[in-house]
Structure 1
């Protein structure tokens, strides 16, 4: 723990000690491991051992390559919450202990992260069990009183979520290599974390309540374990979705990095066009899937530059007619590159047609008006806007209001007026503060007026 700053060490010690205190029995409550509602109160440890082994095994399975997803930690909270609904607070806290301590930690400092994770889970489960006990949840579960069981389980889940949020958000911001950066200085971030965690934990709480009710039913613990089967299948499907999504993002990132390496003058341009395309799509009221697709379209719109000779992309002087025709082929090159990537959907049409103009003077096919796909009309506006507001070797960046005025001047001839209005409204409401693309080292921007929108093809407007 030498690498941790002093505040982080103090916080870690406090959370660890708090977790240890939760393992001590409270006066007047059943001792650890004793289920007071069982016929034989001398039957002490097997529910605790079974649930603890089940939790550790489920977490281990969730971290395996078979079902590993983007957020493996805390996957089987239903088991912990079932323990909170069945066991006294101290015994419920013991359920989280082995799994939290023994499971591996990916990042350093591993010991500190393991102790922090253990302390958070132990305290959260203890608090949930105590709330459940004090609100009469144990009797509601024993008598299968569904309204009462749901109400008390909801209170316990709320306590569980609140404690996890407070302990996670209270981690002090570390030096590099320390504990994860916390949210202690931002109450609004605490609120977002709580609200974001409450919905999934509510689902986990319902599964845990079902386990507890089946456990206490004539069918016994074996039936309770069957609840985990649909949860496991759901997690597996969720993990596969995120794995596929991560593969999509990696594919797009690799293509964009290749373009940035080839044409250093426009480094960062693709990401900004993707962001501006999202602003337009959201302003037009498109659903989330289309917004994401248009982000992909904006990011990949210039991928065809990989087929253009580098000497043309980096040429400082005017282009000859032959060179211009070569550069104007980049939308078709890009479409050939992405046409087989099925998840891009309508983004492929945007890659091909984002240089078409409403009046038919664009390229590669000279489409007019509604012949141009909607996705291409969105990206065309986003592309022109970022080209005007970024500093290049051949032009200085224009102020955002000047660029928007130029887009409005060209609306109806070059650009779809609806897309221009959407971008103007979105930027008027949220602003536009991206990092400006700088010139390459050793080169300076050419002084003088900014290049017009109708200038050179591709990135060189």
Structure 2
């Protein structure tokens, strides 16, 4: 706990206390169906442990072993307090690969319990138990009321997702000091569909649990969902491996060129802002962000003495440095998951008037991701301190980009960056340079400035 900022410690403590308050009524309630609670707890723990089992040399990312249909089934079958109690052991058993392990396990358990309790309250508020079917008092077995049973179950799944993502965003904002405007961005959108699917599987499990076939039939419903969740966990592990590959390449460039340390991440951030402003879909925006992060990977093939040289470069030295886009393209040619990002690495120094390098492409001949990265690269180069220049204020850098729009840069990309920064400000996540300009959202246009900006 000592390594966490005070805000993060306070948030974790509040979440733990709230989880205890949510689950406590089930402990003292004489009507709690303990056999069902115990079986669901065992299912949660078992699925977490088998889903997060490690192979030698492998690293399992946090959360990939979670098997959420068991928790929604508890939400639909039990009281909110009992559902919170069921969620606790699974949270404690979740895969954790970063320290502090105990704190992270406690945090995951508290998240799950709070989300299960909130989902249970929503489910009962919408009279979900009445639609579930099962044995009624003196009325025999009742069939589940479809499709009406889907509405309260879906609302409960949404509530579960929103509570978890709210807590996730809160811990990102307090523990990693991310701006509040970006800590929650994209979390609900990425999580909502999977939680709704798991919620539907939990509803089917609960219906079969209440049916004459009982618990064995409910377990048969869980089996295919468990297999599919293992497949998704494998996909997540592969994605994590891809991100580790990207980080390793970026760190190698940063070590070699100390003057641009942090530059790659900031270019990726600015590229994503441009892509989002242009309305690109999430998958394409991620491609552009990765292209921005890896755009200078070819500098690994450039002599270090040239990258660290103080003062102007000779024409011969500049020609050597200008080979880095081709070096970078060759380095990542065999990395299949990069896709279109490879073209941005190769062409991010092309200019729309055809005066760039390495091939002198012009206008629409330059791939769109490369035109995005070119603007982001120039913007960060101007707003960061280098060996040959001091950082310019953000408005001055934006004015310079606008002055060069139509010759060096695609005007649409420049306008997208200007609009994005005007609306959200410029708050670089990585600020490893000695001096990086930060700007708040603005309403006015920047003042004109002289000089051309851009990365080497």
TM-score interval, smaller chain:
0.7 to 0.9
Tell me whether 1:301 sits opposite 2:334 in the alignment: no
Is residue 51 of structure 1 aligned with residue 40 of structure 2? yes
Does residue 452 of structure 2 align to residue 453 of structure 1? yes
| Rounded Cα–Cα distance in structure 2 between residues aligned with 1:273 and 1:362 | 19
Query: Tell me, what secondary structure is at the counterpart of 2:224?
Result: helix
Following superposition, the deviation at residue 90 of structure 1 comes to: 7.2
Equivalent positions of 1:102-251 (< 5 A) are 135=127, 137=129, 140-142=132-134, 143=142, 144-147=144-147, 149-151=149-151, 153=153, 200-251=194-245
Q: CA deviation at 1:417?
A: 2.3
Name the SS for the 2:409 alignment partner: coil
Q: Does 1:429 align with 2:423?
A: yes
The question of whether the paired residues in 2 share the 8 Å contact of 1:266 and 1:459 is answered with no
1:17 CA drift (Å): 6.4
Specify the alignment match of 1:75 in structure 2: 66
| 1:76 partner SS | coil
Mean CA deviation greater in 283-292 or 88-97:
88-97
2:364 alignment partner, one of 347, 370, 382: 370
TM-align CA RMSD:
4.3
Other structure's SS at 2:311 match: coil
Matching of residue 62 in structure 1 with residue 61 in structure 2: no
Per the TM alignment, residue 215 of structure 1 is displaced from its structure 2 partner at its CA by 2.2
Cα distance in 1 between the residues matched to 2:347 and 2:181? 46
Deviation at 1:291, TM superposition (A): 1.3
Distance across 1 between alignment mates of 2:2 and 2:358: 62
Contact map agreement 1:69 1:238 (CA 8 A) in 2: no
Deviation for aligned residue 1:262: 0.9
Question: 1:252-274 CA distances to partner (integer Å, 9 max, x unpaired)?
Answer: 11111111111111111112222
SS in 1 for 2:225: helix
Distance change (3 Å), C-alpha of 1:415 and 1:75 = same
CA displacement at 1:410 relative to structure 2:
2.1
Number of residue pairs matched by the alignment: 424
Q: Any conservation in 1 of the 2:50–2:65 contact (CA below 8 Å)?
A: no
Classify the secondary structure of the residue corresponding to 1:146: coil
| Residue 401 of structure 2 corresponds to residue 412 of structure 1 | no
Q: Which moved more, 1:388-397 or 1:212-221?
A: 212-221
Which one of the candidate residues 77, 82, 86 is aligned to 2:77?
86
Q: Which runs of 5+ in 2 are unaligned?
A: 135-141, 436-448
The alignment's TM-score, normalised by the length of structure 1, stands at: 0.75
1:389 counterpart = 2:383: yes
Question: What pairs up with 1:245-324 in 2 under 5 angstroms?
Answer: 245-324=239-318
SS at match of 2:28: coil
Following TM superposition, by how much is the alpha carbon of 1:231 offset from its aligned partner in structure 2, in angstroms? 1.7
Matched, 1:328 2:317: no
Task: Give the SS at the match of 2:66.
Answer: coil
Once residues 235 and 81 of structure 2 are traced to their aligned partners in structure 1, the CA distance between those partners, rounded to angstroms, is 37
Query: Residues 132 and 138 of structure 1 are in contact (CA less than 8 Å); yes or no, is this contact kept in structure 2?
Result: no
Runs of 5+ consecutive residues of structure 1 not aligned to the other structure: 34-44, 175-179, 440-449
Which residue does 1:349 correspond to in 2?
Answer: 343
Tell me the equivalent position of 1:443: none
Secondary structure of the structure 2 residue equivalent to 1:222: helix
Q: Which moved more, 1:330-339 or 1:96-105?
A: 96-105
CA separation of 1:104 and 1:244: change in aligned 2, threshold 3 A: closer
Secondary structure of 2:373's counterpart equals: helix
Map 1:27-46; keep pairs closer than 5 Å: 31-33=31-33, 46=35
